[in-house]
Amino acid sequence: DWIKSRNWCAEEDLYYPHPWIQDLIWSGLSKVQQVIVKTSPGTWLRGIACKLAMEHIHYEDENTRYIDIGPVNKVLNMLCCWFENPEGVAHFKHLSRLHDYLWVAEDGMKMQGYNGSQLWDCAFAVQAIVATGLAAEYGDCLRAAHRYLDQTQVQADCPGELMKWHRHISKGAWPFSTRDHGWPISDCSSEGLKAVIELGKLGPALTGPPIPVSRLEDCVNVILSYQNVGTGGWATYENTRSYPWVEIVNPAETFGDIMIDYSYVECSSASLQALANFRVQYPHSQYNDRIEKSLTAGRKFLLSIQRSDGSWYGSWAICFTYGTWFGIKGLVATGSTYETCSCLRKAVRFLLSKQMACGGWGESYLSSQKKKYIQLEGNEPHVVNTAWALLGLISSGQATRDASPLHRAARSLMRMQQSDGDWPQQSIMGVFNKNCMITYANYRNIFPLWALGDYATSVLSMKHEDDKHGPERNH
């Protein structure tokens, strides 16, 4: 009985209970719709609506090479194309891209929440390798990464009138996964730009021909366009187009905050870092005046969403450790120092307060759901949380104040490393919409490597320099 069961949801999955007014709206519309479609005007109106919906479906399909933005609308679009024409080309093109989402795990077939995180992982991995100071030893790897970054950049906007299709500009952006997917995202564009800038510093002999500056400026233009005028922050795929009150009609019991694209600390910090890095590397760019204004507004946004305990809530990974790493990096990118910025000092105190006796950090996925810091069960350290915290503290200049928390954190990471160089796959670290956890298998290797790289080049090198000149200074 669909009418009776349409609002049922397992207690374990019920993160966002429907308000009564939403159930009333859906129930009312379902009854009214059944009456309207039996009339001639209703049939005509439904035909117009279905035709318009199919136009948008085909536009999305063609612009993503039939991958679509995610697995849910991938399947829905495919069903619509089959219903429209079971023998049509669109239906068969959809079938050929199902494998982009499917994979076989130990317990059977799975469908991913995206068609992968290839660009995202690549951009982070590049920055991690460069941070170690060992880039010259891994030229083949970095050349391949540079090729992927080059080939994956979106080099044209979607066709047609972007406003008609509710699309943002995309020329110069980077997607989360592949060029075929192609949906531009603010933080993916920013991390892609940061990685390309780092590779450019190494020179073409090591990493291959550079990406033209004009294309990097296209990316800067996209990042600037993503900044929300009202808040100064950055959302993900588009500017924030409506108001939080529309969450009252959020139909998904399992997700929170899905009706509009909100500004996030991660997207905002990544954008600020990328813009600041670009301005330093290309001081004569035509975009630098706009970048200056953008950095000022973005910094204000970061300060406005910092919590009273000094942390930031991370919306795309777990959770306060992740958000606070981004918060600190964003403040430092816009000119903060520990001595001059009380908000940076609060953020550092927050991270230090969560360090465990073993030197590591371990945060549970429940932090995302409960919106408060919750320690991992068993008080176990987590390699990824530990890496994020260590990266944030090093960025804040902790080594010049008291390096002992950094030494303890680094030792914790080294203890957890396995004999083959790998780190263990521990509890899940990715999340979206407060309540859906995501596995990022590469995080366990990328971020500990990055953190230990920063530790070796920024902390140990300072210690060695102090030891070298200690007697002279004492004299």
Residue that the structure tokens 């500009």 belong to? 169
What's the count of helices (H) and strands (E) in the chain, helices before strands? 19, 4
Cα-Cα-Cα-Cα dihedral of 292, 297, 433, 110, to 10°?
0
DSSP states of 13-76: G-SSPPPHHHHHHHHHHHHHHHHHTTSHHHHHHHHHHHHHHHHHHHHHHHHTTT--SSHHHHHH
Write down the H helix ranges in 306-382.
Answer: 320-333, 342-353, 366-370
How far is Cα 278 from Cα 193, in angstroms, rounded to an integer?
8
For residues 310 and 323, the answer to whether their CB atoms sit within 8 Å is no
DSSP letter, residue 456: I
Catalytic residues: 187
Residue 220 · residue 287 · CB < 8 Å: yes
Residue type, 454: D
DSSP-based three-state secondary structure for 362? coil
Distance (Å, whole) CA 101 – CA 114: 7
Interatomic CA distance for residues 198 and 123, integer angstroms = 10
Token pair of 135 as six digits: 């880039």
